[in-house]
Structure 1
Amino acid sequence: MNDCIKNVVTIEHHGREIYGVSYMPKHVEKCPVVIFSHGYNGSNADFTMNSEYLVSNGVGAYCFDFCGGSVNSKSGLKTTEMTLFTEKEDLCAVIDQVKRWDNIDADNIFLFGGSQGGLVSALAADERIDDVKGMLLLFPAFCIADDWNQRYPTLESIPDTHEMWGMTLGRTFFESIHGYDVFRHIGKFDKNILIFQGDQDEIATLDWSMRASKLYPYVKLEVFPGEGHGFSEAGNRRVAEMTCEFVKVNI
């Protein structure tokens, strides 16, 4: 894209390094920016299309790999060291770094999280309300703690490792969410939120997004008929367009 400045940007924090890619529009002195957080075993590349669409409309983006968040992650940590809370630390470190960039409008930083990255974004947003202008969540996995606590109801039942979807989690992941109630740690974010949810999602089902949306004062739940956990090309394109519209309306 001729109108896009694309750079690798790494961020150091908590003794580890985050790998990410920034997408910035040319000829824009200060632009709003969307920070994209990928889902379980995803990567920064999951949101390339979204970022390029934003840049073509004068909005910047930063996509990064969670530390230990994927077998393909270029960031630090092993997958067995990752937890929801190391990922929240990662995202907060990204917010701190991005808001200091000369070419972005620090008053207009938006979070976008998909699946597990949606849950992590929601947790971070509640702690960083003053730094975040708005939030977009794509089939957010508010179900994670409940699902795993049903699978491993006692600390004694937690294994040292567990392989799921091509990635190995460690004991620390499950111990850190043992007895954790997600809905007691979200809902304080008092700015606009847009949730994208497929009605055929069998992993992070619609009822979880409906339950979460009742906690926030300013939230819109956009239901995509026929979409599951992972949208079609047409669905993803609509998400990109609606993300851009959301940013433009809220700056």
Structure 2
Amino acid sequence: MNTTINLSNTSYEKTLTYTNHVSFHIKEVTITNTYNNEKIYAKIYIPDIDGKKLPAIVLSHGYNGCGDDFETECTYFAQHGYVAVAYDFCGGSTKSRSSMPTTKMTIFTEKSDLISVFNFVKNLDYTDNSKIFLLGGSQGGFVTALAAEELSNQVSGMILYYPAFCIPDDWRQNLKEFKQLPHELDFWNMKLGQDYFESVLKINTFDEIGSFPNNVLILHGNRDAIVPLKYSNKAINLYSKAHLYVIEDEEHGFSPKGVDFAKKTVINFTNKI
């Protein structure tokens, strides 16, 4: 299903549900990646609600980003009764507080980070492990989709902001000029290593995703110059329960108004599951 949203028209607000805001606190933790023993820095936004297990949302940032990129969303989700967990991918940015150099990061090391964080969240004594959602943006959206294929029904629902399903295609094009894969390459203010290129060139995105059985929500701006909208349009046809919101005049990385719409739409989505 595909819906186009014009943020200058506030009629969409009538479709969104709201709950009373609750207070929350933030806990910093270090999580061990169970695949490679790297250390993952994370912040947990914990609603101040006693006596019940709470639903959770795990948020995965984009290329050369960090968990704090989702501070607005985490605050909002926690205020609405969700445990929100945002973390730094190992080697995922020049400002990552997790271990590992950026030259060792690949799509698959990030996938292993996410699965390790998911398992950590699932075993917290205050989370409802039957209601855990994954949210990812850009490269983190691609990684989230890959992880959801493996985790399957353990994940209650998946939310993707402008998921970078184009990454393998882009690198196949970008690396054509090289006679052999570069040992290291500076890309968008971050140094990547040969492992990244070797692994990503083996992926055909739409052979890797689409079998996740539960609800999928994708939000994508129609002016995204980094990830063409056609990739999200193709993705929703692979999933059995997918809804794409095309947000008019939004680019790659939402405006404050776009973020406001997105976070409210996410809670509306998760509250119905």
Question: What range is the shorter-chain TM-score in?
Answer: over 0.9
Aligned pairs (5 A) from 1:155-194? 156-194=179-217
Report the counterpart of residue 123 of structure 1 in structure 2: 146
1:156 deviates by 4.4
Within the alignment, does 1:210 sit opposite 2:230 as a pair? no
TM-score (norm. length: structure 1) = 0.97
Q: Say which structure, 1 or 2, has more relative contact order (CA 8 Å, 6+ apart).
A: 2
What letter corresponds to residue 44 of structure 2 in structure 1?
S
Q: Does the Cα contact within 8 Å between 1:155 and 1:175 map onto a contact in 2?
A: no
Report the counterpart of residue 256 of structure 2 in structure 1: 233
Corresponding residue to 1:219 among 242, 247, 267: 242
Within the alignment, does 1:11 sit opposite 2:15 as a pair? no
Deviation digits for residues 90-131 of structure 1 (CA, Å, limit 9, x no counterpart)? 001011111000101000000000000000000000000121
Q: Does the Cα contact within 8 Å between 2:153 and 2:214 map onto a contact in 1?
A: no
1:157 deviates by 2.7
* C-alpha separation in 2, matches of 1:70 and 1:214: 32
SS of residue paired to 1:244: helix
* C-alpha separation in 2, matches of 1:180 and 1:105: 33
Report the counterpart of residue 4 of structure 2 in structure 1: none
Number of equivalent positions: 250
* C-alpha separation in 1, matches of 2:118 and 2:143: 13
Deviation digits for residues 5-46 of structure 1 (CA, Å, limit 9, x no counterpart)? 210011112121000000010024211100000000000101
Q: Percent identity?
A: 41
* C-alpha separation in 1, matches of 2:61 and 2:216: 18
Report the counterpart of residue 143 of structure 1 in structure 2: 166
* C-alpha separation in 2, matches of 1:211 and 1:179: 20
RMSD: 1.4
TM-score (norm. length: structure 2) = 0.89
Report the counterpart of residue 24 of structure 1 in structure 2: 46
1:180 deviates by 1.7
Within the alignment, does 1:69 sit opposite 2:92 as a pair? yes
1:177 deviates by 1.5
SS of residue paired to 2:118: helix
Structure 1 residue runs of 4 or more that deviate by more than 3 Å after TM superposition:
153-156
* C-alpha separation in 1, matches of 2:22 and 2:161: 28
* C-alpha separation in 1, matches of 2:37 and 2:217: 33
Deviates more, 1:193-202 or 1:241-250: 241-250
Within the alignment, does 1:56 sit opposite 2:76 as a pair? no
SS of residue paired to 2:264: helix
SS of residue paired to 2:253: coil
